[in-house]
Structure 1
Amino acid sequence: CLPVWWISVLIVCLSSPLAGREAWNYVEVRDGAHMFWWLYYADCQSVQSRDLPLVLWLQGGPGGSGTGFGNFEEIGPLTRDLEPRKSSWVQAASVLFVDNPVGTGFSYAQNPEAFATDVSTVASDMLVLLQSFFTERTEFQSVPFYIFSESYGGKMAAAISLEVTKAVSQGTLKCVFAGVALGDSWISPLGELVLRGVLTRSSSLLDDFGLQDVNAAAAAVKQAVEQQQFLKATELWSVTETVVEQNTNGVNFYNILTQQPDDRLSSPDDDFISLQTRRHLRPLYRQSLSELMNGPIRKKLGIVPQNVTWGGQAEQVFSSMSGDFMRPVVDVVDRLLAAGVNVTVYNGQLDLIVDTLGQELWVKRLKWDGLPAFNQLRWTALDDPASPGVTGAFYKTYKNFAFYWILKAGHMIPADQGPMALQMLKMITQQV
């Protein structure tokens, strides 16, 4: 039985101005593999939605829900309390949230074989969904289409963007693909680990002994990756995080200025899958958000199967992808750049799990022919829209590549620095 206040909130949600400006549906992308999408049409006073771009948002994990966390915690029109979000991306674009891979959020797998095991399958599944979406919503076939992502969503976004580029050129997908933005993205996992000790030590969160411990743990991961033992590398990556946690007294991987909540700290009874679920999926399925999604939102949507619970298969999603988790996709980014796709990298200053130093490391190793000229450029400061005169970010761009350094933000940039993230969106989509 829902509390009275939840019922009141639901009524407000259903009767809000968003009514008629949203759409959602399921697509069966493979036998037994069902993916859920939720669209918000752009809501701008001065410009009609058909004149604004379409943005696909991809969450991390793998197993984090875009329709839940990305929507209600970061960029959607309403907050978790169903109040209007001042920095919602719907002001500048129509936003499409998709729960992927299969089994994430309201998406679901009917059998164990339906879960994706690698990013290639994730990309092919998304292509099927997008073909269905653009066929059903023909009004979006002629507007600029961007893919924005966060965390592991960036790894998926890179692979998906390559499939989209191929499909558009072959005529099997009708859309105007305008670019991909990789936010705090898991593109080169090893690079992130190698520099994690350096960042933590320079932030006075490790002493020399702790730095030695972290570097030794990272070296073991490096060896496993070099030997192409990616499942072992994922397990050792989990060990490395435990070493960091123990030596920093529980630093929060999502923001180095805070402490890890007690319920995410390692336990002797945890295997590495349950431990990583505790650390990196639980924040995306916090209790208050789960109550919202499995209560009022589920009732509002009206199409979620009775046996499907929002987030109920998240751990299985991560487990199925664990053998592919540590595999880099830097080569995919190179292929996108070579194909002329607009690629943006953006990262939060306070992120530890995907630290900016690690992002810069793999960027400097790109084979893209524009890299030497890009490296010679100085960055440009951007004012924080919420605090004029205060620097909120730096950026630089050359040809079809751009990098944004977002200050005072951790892993979830739109949640930490909403106005700055919205400004970046407008710049990338050429609205300012």
Structure 2
Amino acid sequence: MELALRRSPVPGWLLLLPLLLGLSAGAVIDWPTEEGKEVWGYVTVRKDAYMFWWLYYATSSCKNFSELPLVMWLQGGPGGSSTGFGNFEEIGPLDSDLKPRKTTWLQAASLLFVDNPVGTGFSYVNGSGAYAKDLATVASDMMVLLKTFFDCHKEFQTVPFYIFSESYGGKMAAGIGLELYKAVHQGTIKCNFAGVALGDSWISPVDSVLSWGPYLYSMSLLEDKGLAEVSEVAEQVLSAVNKGLYREATELWGKAEKIIEQNTDGVNFYNILTKSTPTSTVESSLEFTQSYLGQAANVFVNMEEDFMKPVISIVDKLLKAGINVTVYNGQLDLIVDTMGQEAWLRKLKWPELPKFSQLKWKALHSDPKSLETSAFVKSHKNLAFYWILRAGHMVPSDQGDMALKMMRLVTQQE
């Protein structure tokens, strides 16, 4: 998945990219740090564990890359490739047909794509024992990569550094963000950490599952009997999570998806207004990940015990530490629907939450000349929430202009 990631048209040339780039195990290929240049390579994060990263320097016509932020993008899954999907399908300079993307984030930031956890995309392991099995390992691996990156690329140590994410990538971003905050304050990593952005994020899986039925019912995609069936299995997921039976909860999550597909004539979990393929969500996710270097399915299996664990407490710690936290969600997403996001947000123990909740949201327009509302936003101190309209799970793919505007707002460029 991207949380059961959809079947994706990953082009064949992308599978040959390591050969095209001349990459081999442990290879690092570098160019001078000029605008429009790229850098990529591997970092050994643990014994037998190698993580691939790909950096694009910002290409703004008005500013030098050193005057713009650095954004690291983390894909979902766990097992979705940032350098593949996030790069070519969402925010990178080229789309999957190698045509320039008009809404690339590269015009407002340098972009760092990282294939994580190890085993995802071009990242790899030598031996099954090297896969990450929990968020703690995912975060510690990323600390090794980021320390290496900022030590080698000192030109980025002072520019604002943001972690943007999608789906399960948001859960990883929360854990990574907290560990990075500690590392910066301890002086082990030199960077100007400016905040995290959690997009359609798997922060509290059970809150998503519990909201699936009511959301679909409100959109006329479930009737009474179907709602009852979905609600029943959702309660089973809740019971398993409350008992700490997280592997069982993951299995029940898959069961809930199948019940929804049966009752909705195969609703697309990533955008309820578009039709999904007949292949089930879980099956299509595995076919996608296996087609992309053949390792990502193993990433998901190894993280299965961790998959349904909530990380609301980590978001609370981020807020308490004063770290800027942005939550954004696509209106038409089901798998991480907005109702579920709002539900876990209400569970935060952050002292400023009541003031945040009392605020009225503000309408946003991606085109200042248009009367069409593109999003709503609510912001207080170091927490912001963006409701992105007419977007599904992959916000930049569905609403590229609004996603770019949001990124500019989050990084204080607008």
Aligned to 1:59: 75
CA distance in 2, matches of 1:248, 1:85: 34
Q: Describe how 1:78-89 pairs up with structure 2 within 5 A.
A: 78-89=94-105
Aligned to 1:384: 366
Count of residues in correspondence between the two structures? 387
Mark the CA change 1:357 to 1:105 in structure 2 (over 3 Å): closer, same or farther.
same
CA distance in 2, matches of 1:41, 1:391: 32
- Secondary structure of the residue aligned to 1:179 is strand
C-alpha displacement at 1:74, in angstroms? 0.2
Greater Cα shift, 98-107 or 19-28: 19-28
- 317, 337, 340: which one aligns with 1:355: 337
CA distance in 2, matches of 1:355, 1:281: 22
Q: Describe how 1:11-410 pairs up with structure 2 within 5 A.
A: 21-262=37-278, 264-265=279-280, 276=282, 278-280=283-285, 282=287, 310-385=292-367, 388-410=370-392
C-alpha displacement at 1:284, in angstroms? 6.5
Which residues of structure 1 form unaligned runs of 5+? 12-17, 266-274, 291-309
- Secondary structure of the residue aligned to 1:402 is strand
Over 4 Å off, 4+ runs: 281-285
Which residues of structure 2 form unaligned runs of 5+? 1-11, 22-33
CA distance in 2, matches of 1:30, 1:254: 34
Tell me if structure 2 keeps the 8 A contact 1:408–1:416. Answer: yes
Tell me if structure 2 keeps the 8 A contact 1:39–1:96. Answer: yes
C-alpha displacement at 1:385, in angstroms? 2.6
C-alpha displacement at 1:279, in angstroms? 3.7
CA distance in 2, matches of 1:174, 1:49: 18
1:313-358: CA deviation from partner (whole Å, max 9, x where unpaired): 0100000000000000000000000000000000000000000000
Q: Is residue 430 of structure 1 aligned with residue 397 of structure 2?
A: no
Kindly provide the amino acid, as one letter, of the partner of residue 130 in structure 2: A
Q: Percent identity?
A: 59
1:44-90: CA deviation from partner (whole Å, max 9, x where unpaired): 00000010000000000000000000000000000101111000000
CA distance in 1, matches of 2:110, 2:353: 32
- Secondary structure of the residue aligned to 1:347 is strand
C-alpha displacement at 1:258, in angstroms? 1.9
TM-score by length of 2: 0.91
Mark the CA change 1:386 to 1:243 in structure 2 (over 3 Å): closer, same or farther.
farther
- Secondary structure of the residue aligned to 1:390 is coil
Mark the CA change 1:325 to 1:139 in structure 2 (over 3 Å): closer, same or farther.
same
CA RMSD of aligned residues (A): 1.9
C-alpha displacement at 1:260, in angstroms? 1.8
CA distance in 2, matches of 1:418, 1:224: 38
CA distance in 1, matches of 2:104, 2:368: 14
C-alpha displacement at 1:280, in angstroms? 3.4
- Secondary structure of the residue aligned to 1:72 is helix
Mark the CA change 1:282 to 1:89 in structure 2 (over 3 Å): closer, same or farther.
farther
Tell me if structure 1 keeps the 8 A contact 2:78–2:168. Answer: yes
C-alpha displacement at 1:236, in angstroms? 0.5
Tell me if structure 2 keeps the 8 A contact 1:386–1:419. Answer: no
- Secondary structure of the residue aligned to 2:374 is strand
CA distance in 1, matches of 2:298, 2:102: 35
TM-score by length of 1: 0.87
